[in-house]
């Protein structure tokens, strides 16, 4: 498993303001799988993704990313692990406006002090179809082109996992489809592992596996791994204990 979470809870606030955003989630992601996470607003999708990606810490439970238990790592170690092992795609693209498309794609590598693998970067640029836009700044690109730059940026370091948070939330349906197909290709052709939060059932169809969160619990997992029983769910058969 590339990423696994075990018995993860996340509580915000104290006293009357306490919110249990995650109430005990266990889930694991094998390499080369494209997973979509859905669920109503407030069900804990962002919280789960942030915890899986080491951007937030669980109140209880364990998270292992590519063999490293991240609970207990200090901030510097966590930052380095994110830089070395993870790629991120956001709804709002998050490109740096002063940099060209190519510079944006290479930025995470340069921050990490790593030399770009030229052949790989060329492959990515060809795959995302940006060969003739490399010297353009984000403001000179359409939303779809900007998100394709962001996809190439996320893949450039060959991360263990790419986390995508509503990656098509700001795109029209045709452009969304292009970006989703691009993510799909990165899984099929490069063996990329992707975890994507989306509220759009159409977008979720591109994934291999669908997780549904409900009120801080895993209510559904199309991979068939026994989910945590959700509140109100039918009682499961006694496991023969």
Pick between residue 45 and residue 85 the one whose CB is nearest to ligand ADP.
45
Among 40-48, 57-65, 106-114, 156-164, which window interacts with ligand ADP (CB under 6 A)?
40-48
- Using an 8 Å Cβ cutoff, are 33 and 206 in contact? no
41 scored as a contact of ligand ADP (CB under 6 A): yes
12 scored as a contact of ligand ADP (CB under 6 A): yes
Closest contact distance (angstroms) between CB of 37 and ligand ADP is 8
Give the contacts of 144 (CB within 8 A, at least 6 positions apart): 171, 175, 178, 179
Report CA-CA distances (Å) from 203 to 1, 128, 133, 150, 173: 24, 18, 26, 18, 9
Q: Which of 33, 35, 43, 157 binds ligand ADP (CB under 6 A)?
A: 43
Among 44-52, 67-75, 81-89, 176-184, which window interacts with ligand ADP (CB under 6 A)?
44-52
Closest contact distance (angstroms) between CB of 71 and ligand ADP is 18
Strand partners, 35: 195, 209
Positive or negative, the Cα torsion across 82, 88, 93, 97? positive
Which residues from 15-34 bind ligand ADP, rule CB under 6 A? 19, 21
CA distance linking residue 14 with residue 78, whole number of Å: 26
112 scored as a contact of ligand ADP (CB under 6 A): no
CA distance linking residue 104 with residue 137, whole number of Å: 9
CA distance linking residue 95 with residue 97, whole number of Å: 6
Q: Which of 13, 31, 191, 201 binds ligand ADP (CB under 6 A)?
A: 13
91 scored as a contact of ligand ADP (CB under 6 A): no
46 scored as a contact of ligand ADP (CB under 6 A): yes
CA distance linking residue 174 with residue 207, whole number of Å: 17
Pick between residue 107 and residue 230 the one whose CB is nearest to ligand ADP.
230
Among 42-50, 96-104, 142-150, 231-239, which window interacts with ligand ADP (CB under 6 A)?
42-50
Total interface residues for ligand ADP by CB under 6 A: 12
Instruction: Give Cα 138 to chain centroid, integer Å.
Output: 22
Q: What is the DSSP letter of 226?
A: P
Alpha helices in 38-117 (DSSP H): 45-52, 75-85, 101-111
String marking each residue 47-86 x if it binds ligand ADP according to CB under 6 A: x---------------------------------------
Residues that bind ligand ADP (CB under 6 A): 12-13, 19, 21, 39, 41-47
């Amino acid at each position: 498993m590339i990423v696994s979470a075990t018995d993860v809870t996340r509580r915000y606030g104290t006293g009357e303001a306490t919110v249990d955003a995650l109430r005990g989630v266990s889930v694991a992601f094998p390499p080369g799988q494209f997973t979509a996470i859905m669920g109503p607003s407030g069900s804990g999708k962002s919280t789960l993704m942030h915890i899986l990606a080491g951007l937030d810490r669980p109140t209880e439970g364990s998270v292992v990313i590519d063999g490293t238990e991240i609970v207990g790592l200090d901030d510097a170690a966590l930052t380095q692990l994110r830089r070395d092992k993870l790629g991120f795609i956001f709804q709002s693209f998050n490109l740096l406006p002063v940099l060209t498309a190519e510079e944006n794609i290479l930025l995470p590598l340069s921050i990490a002090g790593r030399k770009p693998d030229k052949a790989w970067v060329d492959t990515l640029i060809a795959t995302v179809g940006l060969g003739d836009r490399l010297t353009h700044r984000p403001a000179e690109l359409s939303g779809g082109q900007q998100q394709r730059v962001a996809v190439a940026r996320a893949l450039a370091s060959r991360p263990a996992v790419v986390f995508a948070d509503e990656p098509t939330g700001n795109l029209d349906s045709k452009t969304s489809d292009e970006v989703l197909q691009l993510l799909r290709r990165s899984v099929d052709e490069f063996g990329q592992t992707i975890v994507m939060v989306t509220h759009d059932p159409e977008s979720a169809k591109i994934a291999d596996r669908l997780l549904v969160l409900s009120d801080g619990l895993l209510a559904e997992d199309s991979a068939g791994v026994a989910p945590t029983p959700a509140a109100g769910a039918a009682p499961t058969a006694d496991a023969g204990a």
